[in-house]
Amino acid sequence: MAANTVTPALPAPAPATAPPGPGASVAASVAAAAPADATPKLGLPLRVLHATVLDWYAANARDLPWRTPDASPWAVMVSEFMLQQTPVKRVLPVWETWMERWPTPADLAAEAPGEAVRMWGRLGYPRRALRLHGAAVAITEKHGGEVPDDHAVLLSLPGVGEYTAAAVASFAFGRRHVVLDTNVRRVFARAVTGAEYPAQATTAAERRTATALLPAAERTAATWAVAVMELGALVCTARGPECGDCPLFTSCAWQRAGRPPYEGPARRGQTYEGTDRQVRGKLLAVLREAHDEVPQARLDAVWPDAVQRARALDGLVADGLVEPVEQGVYRLPR
Ligand code: SF4
């Protein structure tokens, strides 16, 4: 697929290999990591937990193009940027078009950042497009066009945070890292600590728990990371966990505690209608479709509230997603 294909991408679904020492249990391992504020209640040997989840993944993993053995590290990186806040179904067509047009980081780096914003389409949170473009430029200029395989080097790329660095190192290169996205955090909150939902922001206790649960062998750890993520995406979903289909049903701490309701602070909703985000989306859609400079009047037509519209446009300019060309004329960044 890509010129910089170097390593089989996402670890193929596989049964557990090289589990930690005999007799190790989740409770013991997590307690050893001293998370006084995490209360692991899953009385299941660690190697049984690993085997259970990895076997489930082997049988149930979705067939996704960034998980194929010939998917390049760049293909994995693009998917991780897109999937952070957008479901697989919406990502798939954009990812495919993106990889056809820009099969390597150098292909993307050679184009203006506005083209990345245009191609991002309606995936939402379009600053991710700019960050991905920035990462492509850095990979091209400083790393010979090859996505780095080292977590710390990945972390040094513009727009690459802890999650993305761990995910790319793990899924593209089979490295052993804690990969904590919302799906993984929810599975661990329920199955291990017995809470319906995790805290709003990742805590040190969660990270210690996830570290204690990580298989020792690199490739197994990489598969474990994606397997737990898949379990959260397909079974242990936010609003309607399908516990009857879950491989952890009998050991899940939240189940065993009688599914106690969430008692933490109010969870953020996903309101979109009427928000500045919606206005930004409408303004950006005009610019994406224009392929040229756009006069203010065309932007004014998409939203009736002038104050909110101006605020949204100012935000897009401040974020580098829109460039003012001259008074009252705008375009995507070049
Ligand atoms: S049993 Fe239900 S709550 Fe527990 S991990 Fe499985 S799906 Fe999630």
Does the beta carbon of 254 lie inside 6 Å of ligand 1?
yes
Does the beta carbon of 234 lie inside 6 Å of ligand 1?
no
How far away, in angstroms, is 188 Cα from ligand 1 center?
9
Please determine, for residue 23, whether its predicted confidence score (pLDDT) is greater than 90. no
Annotation says 80 is catalytic: yes
- Residue 334 confidence (pLDDT): 93
How far away, in angstroms, is 210 Cα from ligand 1 center?
17
The candidate with the shortest Cα–Cα distance to 128, out of 115, 117, 139, is 117
Does the beta carbon of 187 lie inside 6 Å of ligand 1?
yes
Please determine, for residue 19, whether its predicted confidence score (pLDDT) is greater than 80. no
Q: Residue 125: helix, strand or coil by DSSP?
A: coil
Does the beta carbon of 249 lie inside 6 Å of ligand 1?
yes
Does the beta carbon of 197 lie inside 6 Å of ligand 1?
no
The pLDDT > 90 percentage for the chain reads 79
Ligand 1 atom with least separation from CA of 243? 2
The model's pLDDT over 257-305, given as tens digits with 9 standing for 90+, comes to: 999 988 877 776 668 888 999 999 999 999 999 988 999 999 999 999 9
pTM of the model: 0.86
Q: Which residues pair with 330 in a beta bridge?
A: 294, 324
Task: Count other Cβ atoms within 10 Å, centred on residue 138.
Answer: 18
Sign of the C-alpha dihedral computed for residues 318, 323, 324 and 329 taken in this order: negative
Q: Which of 80, 115, 206, 230 is catalytic?
A: 80
How far away, in angstroms, is 247 Cα from ligand 1 center?
8
Please give the order of strands across the beta sheet that includes 329-331: 294-295, 329-331, 323-326
CA pair distance 192, 165, nearest whole angstrom: 25
Q: How far is CA 140 from CA 114, 137, 168, 169, in A?
A: 18, 5, 17, 18
The model's pLDDT over 170-180, given as tens digits with 9 standing for 90+, comes to: 999 999 999 99
